[in-house]
A and B are shown apart, each in its own frame.
Chain A
Amino acid sequence: MLSAAKAAGAGQGATAVLAALLEARTGQQIAQDRAWRLDTALKPLLRERGMESLDQLVRELLLGQDHQLGDRIVDALLNQESSFFRDAPTFDLLGEALGEITAGRRARIWSAGCSTGQEPLSLAMLLAERGADAFEILATDVSEGALARAKAGRFTQFEIQRGLPIRRMMRWFDADGADWVAKPELMRYVSFRRINMVADQQPPGRFDLVMCRNLLMYLAADQRQAVLGRIAAALRPGGLLVLGAGETVIGQTNAFAPSPRWRGLYEAAERAGGRAAA
Chain B
Amino acid sequence: MLVTKNITKKFPGVIALENVNLKIDAGKVTAIIGENGAGKSTLMKILSGVYPDYEGEIIFKDQPVNFAGTADAQKAGIAIIHQELNLIPYLTITENIFLGRELGNAFGILDKKAMHAKAKTLLDTLHVDVNPDTLVADLKVGQQQMVEIAKALLLDADLIIMDEPTSAITEAEVETLFKVIEKLRSENKAIVYISHKLNELFKIADNYVVLRDGKTIETGLMQSMTHDELIKKMVGRAIVPMQKELADANAKELLRIENICLKQKNKASKLHNISFNVNGGEIVGVFGLMGAGRTELLETIFGVHPAASSGSVTVNNKNITIKKPADAIRAGIVLLPEDRKKDGLVLGMEVKKNISLPCLHEVEKMGLLNDKKESTLAKKHIQQLGIKTPSENQVTKNLSGGNQQKIVLAKWLERNPKVLLLDEPTRGIDVNAKNEMYKLMQELAGKGMAIVMVSSELTEILTVSNRIIVMAEGKITAIIPAGEATEDNVLKAAISIN
Do A and B associate with each other?
Answer: no
Seen from chain A, the residues whose Cβ lies within 8 Å of a Cβ on chain B are none
Seen from chain B, the residues whose Cβ lies within 8 Å of a Cβ on chain A are none
